[in-house]
Chains A and B, each alone.
Chain A
Amino acid sequence: MMEFTILFITILFISLFQIGIPFFVKRTVVFGVTIPYEQAQHPKVMQYKKVYAILTALVAIAAIVGFFTWGQTGRVSETQLVLIGSIAPFIILIAGLSFYFYFHYKMTHLKQEKNWFGEVKQIRVADLTARSKDEMLPSYVHLIPAVIAVMLIILSGNLFDQLPNQIPIHWGPDGMPDAFTNKDWLSVLNLPIMLIMLQVMFFSINLFTKRSGIKINASNIQSSKLRQLRLRKYTSWFLFVTNVLMTLLFAFLQLNLLYEDLFSNGLLVLLPIGFMLIILAGALILAVKVGRVDSDFEGTLVLDHSSHNKTESVDDDQYWKGGLFYFNRNDPSVFVEKRFGIGWTLNFANPIGYFVIFLPLVIILVFSFLI
């Protein structure tokens, strides 16, 4: 029943997010296609967004209802439940992505047909004072949880001889270990080393996000700047909270490994669920705080009539492959704001990004295969 509830909440959350994406991304980028600010509420544009939402919602409802009725039959084993419950979000994501590509294609055509940007002046804008208003957390805060990881390693080293010969390496959703391995240095230090890798990754994501550009749209300077500053601030907080929770979780598991039965089973079940709920709540706050600025949720367009000639930010669609992947050799930014969704994506032309994201993941994977 516990697994069922967790999976159900996750599927519901992912569905709502996937349906709402077109409405809380920047309204000047529709399905990955840049359009002039004045055209953001063009009837065709709004129609595409609505049809996308309806189609995605239909798939999501089918998946949720199907999962719910199937889960209630009572003839389902735990493994089956977890398996199907983990596949369901992917079905919704893939459906959303397919509809995205369809409307990306439609939008590209609409833009060509209407010759948007044909007669407007395109300019790049930057605010020299924007960085003094940047409220991102300093990167070194991510080194504070690293102290705990180092302490766990020292503690594990001291207790190595007293440990039993079987070391748990995998935990089920009920918080109980369900796979074991023989004791050696690698298996005992596995968790803290993985934790340090994650912390290094969090630290560098924060560092390079901070160094990345604060992108402003020339036709709506105020709200586009506010959106960028909010995205930077709230994602850096979200990253830090995630780091702290991960550290706590890994510390609990490691301490439980070192001192057998230190914590009750109930606590070990509740802890991951509690953390997951905090993460979901954090993601929701982030989506609301960022998603309401410079999107359809902002209400009517704030058109600046003071300048007579129409101005528009540079149409950088040429750098966005499929409207999803940013590839710009000139831009020194490592992370840029996502076009379809809330958060950041890599500048794939910048090799630093690969090191920051993929290197720690590869090391973690190699480690988990070694033991």
Chain B
Amino acid sequence: MICLNSELDIPLYRQLSTQIMESLVRGELSTGDTLPSVRALAGDLGVNMHTVNKSYHDLEAKGIIEIVAKKGAVIKAQDQKITTQRLEHLSSEFKPMVVEALLSGMDETKIHTLITNIISTVRED
């Protein structure tokens, strides 16, 4: 299930990418599954096709899906081990948020608990 909130500051296409990745984490989607066509999903959500298109390209860049001619957006097999390049990228994405958390008065344990909580919410939902 995909839920987008148009009142959040996060752009809709980012919300969509995150939601699709969450479905993967929960096992609602698995390798080889095809995502709905851009037109179909945009119609279901009542959003512009560009939003869905942007999200699919975002997911393709992240290596989550593969856009195959005639078949559409197919979920790729996920790497078992993370590459150094990918790790560096994630690390640079995490960094500003960790810094912000530290400045907001969170210590290391609190940040660890926060992340554990996020993981369990995503998995259980």
Binding site for B on A (CB under 8 A): 121-131, 211-216, 218, 221, 314, 316, 328, 330-333
Known contacts A126-B2, A126-B45, then 6 further A-B pairs from the complex at CB < 8 Å, ordered by chain A residue? A125-B4, A128-B20, A328-B46, A330-B46, A330-B48, A333-B46
User: Are the C-beta atoms of A331 and B42 separated by less than 8 Å?
Assistant: yes
In the assembled complex, the Cα of A73 lies from the Cα of B87 at a distance in Å of: 90
Known: A125-B3, A126-B2. A331 touches B23 (CB 8 A): no
Supply 28 A–B pairs (Cβ within 8 Å), ascending by A. Answer: A121-B7, A122-B7, A123-B5, A124-B46, A124-B47, A125-B2, A126-B2, A126-B44, A126-B45, A127-B2, A127-B44, A128-B1, A128-B2, A128-B23, A128-B36, A131-B40, A211-B43, A213-B44, A214-B43, A215-B46, A218-B3, A314-B6, A330-B47, A331-B42, A331-B43, A331-B47, A332-B42, A333-B46
Task: Tell me the smallest distance from the CB of A333 to a CB of chain B, in Å.
Answer: 4
Q: How far is the CB of A196 from chain B (nearest CB, A)?
A: 28
The one of A121, A211, A218, A331 in contact with B46, judged by C-beta atoms closer than 8 angstroms, is: A331
**Once bound together, how far apart are the Cα atoms of A122 and B28, in whole Å?**
24
> In the complex the two chains form, is B41's CB within 8 Å of A126's CB?
yes
Who on chain B is nearest to A330 by CB? B48
Contact pick for B5, options A122, A214, A215, A330, CB 8 Å:
A122
Residue in B2, B23, B29 with the greatest tally of chain A CB atoms within 10 Å: B2
Q: Chain A contacts of B3 at CB under 8 A?
A: 123-125, 218
Q: What are the interface flags for B35-59 relative to A under an 8 Å C-beta threshold, 1 for contact and 0 otherwise?
A: 1100111111111110000000000
Residues of A within 8 A of B40 (CB): 131, 211, 213
On chain A, the residues within 8 Å of B5 by CB distance are: 121-124
Residues of chain B within 8 A of A130, CB atoms compared? 44
- A residues near B41, Cβ cutoff 8 Å: 126, 128
Interface residues in B, total, Cβ within 8 A: 24
Return B2 CB to nearest CB of chain A, in Å. Answer: 4
**By the criterion CB–CB under 8 Å, are A127 and B1 in contact?**
yes
B49 touches A332 (CB 8 A): yes
Tell me which residues across on chain B come within 8 A of A333, comparing CB atoms. Answer: 43, 46
Interface string of B1-15 (1 = CB under 8 A from A): 111111100000000
Cβ contacts under 8 Å, B29 to chain A:
128
Q: How far is the CA of A3 from the CA of B46 in the complex (A)?
A: 46
| Residues in A whose Cβ lies below 8 Å from that of B6 | 122-124, 314
Contact A125 B1 (CB under 8 A): yes
Most B Cβ at <10 Å: residue of A126, A131, A330 = A126
CA distance A212 to B35 in the complex (A): 16
A332 touches B44 (CB 8 A): no
- Minimum Cβ distance to chain B for residue A348 (Å): 15
With a cutoff of 8 Å between Cβ atoms, the chain A residues found around residue B46 in the complex are 124, 213, 215, 314, 316, 328, 330-331, 333
Chain A residues near B35 (CB, 8 Å)?
128
A216 to B29, CA, bound (A): 19
Question: Please, which residue of chain A has its CB at the minimum distance from the CB of B35?
Answer: A128
Which of A130, A331, A332: most chain B Cβ within 10 A? A332
User: How far, in whole Å, are A213 and B20 apart by their CA atoms in the complex?
Assistant: 18
Q: Which residue of B lies closest to A211 (CB)?
A: B39
Q: How far does the Cβ of A349 sit from chain B's closest Cβ, in whole Å? A: 12
A124 to B51, CA, bound (A): 13
Compute how far the CA of A47 lies from the CA of B23 in the bound complex, rounded to whole angstroms. 43
- Which residues of the partner chain A approach B7 to less than 8 Å between Cβ atoms? 121-122
Write the nearest CB–CB distance from B23 to chain A, whole angstroms.
Answer: 7
Beta-carbon nearest neighbor of A216 in chain B:
B44
Instruction: Enumerate chain A residues within 8 angstroms of B43, measured Cβ to Cβ.
Output: 211-214, 331-333
